[in-house]
Chains A and B, each alone.
Chain A
């Protein structure tokens, strides 16, 4: 018995709309029949997908057919004329306040929408800026057990390179850090791509000078060569055209420069130096710890599916050979840039990420709802004109279209502004966020794509629809007769309905919230910027110490056993040499220095009473330091003792905590003698937790508590210090801190020279004074604060404009009534109260709602720390004061209309009406 199913109902409905009435039924029947056939042979999902495709195809074909059926030269009448656009531009000039406020608001919303769309597209569907970039693919595994991406081992790469026919130029790379030493200079670390020569054929970009890497360079006996990136060539070689043939030192090896790549070339990710990946050096053991990122180019005419099929077959041989290793690994061929996303990129995931655009669109709708309020007020002032036009026979649709075009002109200008800001903002923002250690992939750089520009045009149309059509529908809703009667009686027929009341209250609520948010973010930025230390930060030089073969990265998991010992010896030697410098007061080592971002974890504290159950756990950051760390930073021991030589070693179980630990975690109680241990994530049993550590001392805070209201990026944290070598904290890489007399930067050349003397493989990176250590956090927070400030300023401006429009509208609508009441002797103050009661009550409702929401947020944030009644009272007072201040600010917008009301001269008004 054959099964039956039904085509997607939405597609069916769309199809019915798309087809001409005379053939609708028969075509729908034919497609139904084909759907049943597809369902029987290929399954439901394929049948549904085909049905959708056919629906789209039919809609397009018959739309084109309808277009053809039109008489040649006949215009498409959608009610648009150039005159509407001309009028739209004229109105922009006539109402400058609305133009500026509404335009700015729309521009911000379109900027947010376009930037969100662009960023999402770059993450989900990035386009490689290389010739035929869409044919470049990445090859890796999906680990079904760990539900994550797994990079192939060298063995897989070699097998794929030899076996794959559907993918050409299969190559691989891994990122390595090397000290680049040019001539007699001290070395500086550079991130190089150790890469197959095939990469340059995949990328299809010729070198600017010399040659690229070739297969012969991959031979173990071939001389070491290096290809330079344009930036590196400019900065380290001064753009010397005779650079080819020069011998440079890369860590422990000498290499000859054989080529320079053109500007902007950064394949495979963000690389600026390329050295050959020597397959002979790689272990062919299956399941080795070394992994490689593998790539290739689809052979001509081959689809991704065909390449996937071949790779799956090839991987099946490996799985048969090593079933334990490959049981859960599923090979996958993906577009190159997408292969870097460590999450399975299925339909749901993509849809989920794309749905973020929905929030940006919602933001645009909300903002344009507010602009619509202003447009409504403007349309109300033209009510008489609109009524006369309707009386003369203008269709409602014609008037709605005209108001839409007026909004479209404003939206178009806003879109231009928004796109410009988004384009340059994105470009500069990405460049500014590029750091030495964390650079964006090359396909992520640059401004907006043409797709985003088209999307922004759609956003502008949507903005115009919300800001123009909604008020137009409201304005033209009034019955013509009633409207004319009301207008001739001196009062407009328009009323501010419930929708506008809601928009107004929501807008003021948003203003109150945004202003508060802007204040908090500003405080946070200022708090982090003004962070203070208990030691002279400008005298401390910080430097990260790394060594070739010692970087545990995704492509180089783990180190060999002899490397740690060699690393320790080299680092100690450097420390010894630096301390001998007469300018240096003290030198110490640690995994993290003050002001640097630190890893944290939950701890459990032993020795607290039952009644202290709420204090048994706490979040702390942990650092491993040398035994002389506290002396070097002149940190006072407040109780107990500091570290002694016998505390060092892998079996060490003593820790020192800082004052903030005592204050925040122990609420000021004695810490010395208590025991702590780290809680493993998700651990249920005690056996899976770390060993216990005894607190032997409390030291003063090196970073003083700042005024930053949020904990994010706040460098003042409860700290637990371990000794170097303790197994609880990873001791690689180490930071060296040198206390120097005067400006610490003077030590940099000496430090580099010592490092080069000790070992060319020792790399010094992140060299900066400690007062510059969190400068990136400060600049990020400052930029964020500025952005929020800009948004809140626009929201405030929009609110003030809306309040002004509403009150102004109320005055103009009731001018005749006011004149009559004044003529009858009513006091002006009473009339003011009467006219403004409604708008002011809306403002009060908005401010109260905003303050209540802030109060709720504050209460939630304070709920963990059980605040005293004094604290609560203080917060409540601040909130009331803030609400009152916001009411005062909103009242400013009413000044103009109030003054206009006071200027109403009853005799003039009544004479005019007569």
Chain B
């Protein structure tokens, strides 16, 4: 699709040629991004239960939240005791997968002068959560009468 331009013709390009070139590059970029999104959504790994819980806790707490409140939130909502180390390990894994993004926050005397590592769920993280929910919903679909029967 690239116009057939030789190096000796480059200097003779007029403005219209530049515009045509930019349009071509933009469309190329768009196609690449689309391909990337499609491919990445195709290869997106299913989230584990614990990963989902952490992402959901972050969403509940809002942007800029850090490790301590996340652990507390999961314990509060699930009523289960959670090993903080497991939460931090998972946070790191989610960040490596691109489902979370982190940045260094403020440091306070209560923290021994150490900074907070704040987290935010990325678009990709949100998409993964949606996918997981979709999968679960489809699995749950139609089971209500049976579950009621079991009760």
Contacts and interface: CB of A to CB of B under 8 A. Distances in A.
Is chain B's interface secondary structure helix, strand, loop, or mixed overall?
helix
Contacts of A58: 84-85, 88
Interface string A45-78: 0000000001001101110010000000000000
Contacts of A23: 88, 92, 117
B83 interface: yes
Interface stretch (A27-35, A451-459, A640-648): A27-35
B15 interface: no
Nearest to B84: A54
Contact of A29 (B85, B92, B93, B116): B116
A30 B89 contact: no
Contacts of B110: 4, 32-33, 36
Contacts of B84: 30-31, 34, 54, 57-58
B85 A32 contact: no
B37 interface: no
B112 A28 contact: yes
Interface size class of B (residues with CB under 8 A): 20 to 34
A161 B44 CA distance: 62
Nearest to A12: B112
Nearest to A32: B112
A65 B113 CA distance: 27
A25 B85 contact: no
A34 B117 contact: no
A614 interface: no
Interface string A1-43: 0001010000000000000100101111111111010000000
A59 to B, nearest CB: 8
B112 A65 contact: no
Nearest to A60: B85
User: Looking at B85, B92, B115, which has the most chain A CB atoms within 10 Å of its CB?
Assistant: B85
A819 to B, nearest CB: 67
Contact of A62 (B89, B104, B114, B116): B89
A31 B114 CA distance: 10
B87 to A, nearest CB: 10
Contact of B67 (A20, A27, A36, A62): A27
A6 B86 contact: no
Contacts of B117: 23, 26-27
Contacts of A61: 83, 85-86, 88-89
A65 B68 CA distance: 20
A65 B109 CA distance: 30
Interface size class of A (residues with CB under 8 A): 20 to 34
A28 B112 CA distance: 8
A58 B88 CA distance: 9
B107 interface: yes
Given A33-B110, A33-B111, A26 B85 contact: no
Nearest to B107: A29
Contacts of A6: 112
Contact of A34 (B68, B83, B104, B107): B68
User: Looking at A30, A54, A61, which has the most chain B CB atoms within 10 Å of its CB?
Assistant: A30
Given A23-B117, A29-B114, A57 B68 contact: no
Interface string B128-148: 000000000000000000000
B14 to A, nearest CB: 51
A29 B83 contact: no
B116 A26 contact: yes
Contacts of A30: 66-68, 84, 88, 111, 116
A25 to B, nearest CB: 5
Nearest to B111: A29
Contacts, number: 65
Contacts of A65: 89, 92-93
Contacts of B104: 26
Nearest to B86: A61
Nearest to B109: A4
B13 to A, nearest CB: 47
A58 B71 CA distance: 14
Contacts of B116: 26, 29-30
Contact of A26 (B89, B93, B114): B114
B114 A28 contact: yes
B111 A57 contact: no
A27 B71 CA distance: 12
A57 B114 contact: no
Contacts of A27: 67, 88, 117
A60 B88 CA distance: 12
Nearest to B70: A30
A58 B84 CA distance: 8
Contacts of A28: 112, 114
A31 B83 CA distance: 12
A57 B89 contact: no
A863 B67 CA distance: 70
Contacts of A25: 114-115
Contacts of B112: 6, 28-29, 32
B68 to A, nearest CB: 5
A42 to B, nearest CB: 16
A62 B93 CA distance: 11
A847 B68 CA distance: 65
A6 to B, nearest CB: 7
Given A34-B68, A36-B110, A29 B115 contact: yes
B83 A57 contact: yes
Contacts of B68: 30, 33-34
A61 B89 CA distance: 7
Interface in A187-233: none
A32 B111 contact: yes
Nearest to B117: A26
Nearest to A2: B110
Contacts of A31: 84
Interface string B69-101: 000000000000001111011001100000000
Contact of B66 (A20, A26, A57): A26
A498 to B, nearest CB: 44
Contacts of B107: 29
B18 to A, nearest CB: 43
B83 A26 contact: no
Contact of B114 (A20, A32, A54, A60): A32
A843 to B, nearest CB: 56
A54 B81 CA distance: 13
A268 to B, nearest CB: 38
B111 to A, nearest CB: 4
Interface in A287-306: none
Contacts of A4: 109-110
Nearest to A27: B88
Contacts of A29: 107, 111-116
Contacts of B85: 54, 57-58, 60-62
A31 B110 CA distance: 10
Nearest to B105: A26
A57 to B, nearest CB: 4
Contacts of A32: 110-112, 114
A33 B109 CA distance: 9
A26 B104 CA distance: 8
A20 B86 CA distance: 14
Nearest to B92: A23
Nearest to A59: B85
A624 B77 CA distance: 77
Chain A to chain B: the 4 pairs with minimum beta-carbon distance, closest first = A29-B114, A26-B117, A29-B111, A61-B85
18 contacts: A23-B88, A26-B66, A26-B115, A27-B67, A28-B114, A29-B112, A29-B116, A30-B111, A30-B116, A31-B84, A32-B111, A58-B88, A60-B85, A61-B83, A61-B86, A61-B88, A61-B89, A65-B92
Interface of B: 66-68, 83-86, 88-89, 92-93, 104, 107, 109-117
Interface of A: 4, 6, 20, 23, 25-34, 36, 54, 57-58, 60-62, 65
Given A34-B84, A61-B88, 11 more contacts: A23-B117, A25-B114, A26-B66, A26-B114, A27-B88, A29-B116, A30-B84, A32-B110, A34-B68, A60-B85, A65-B89
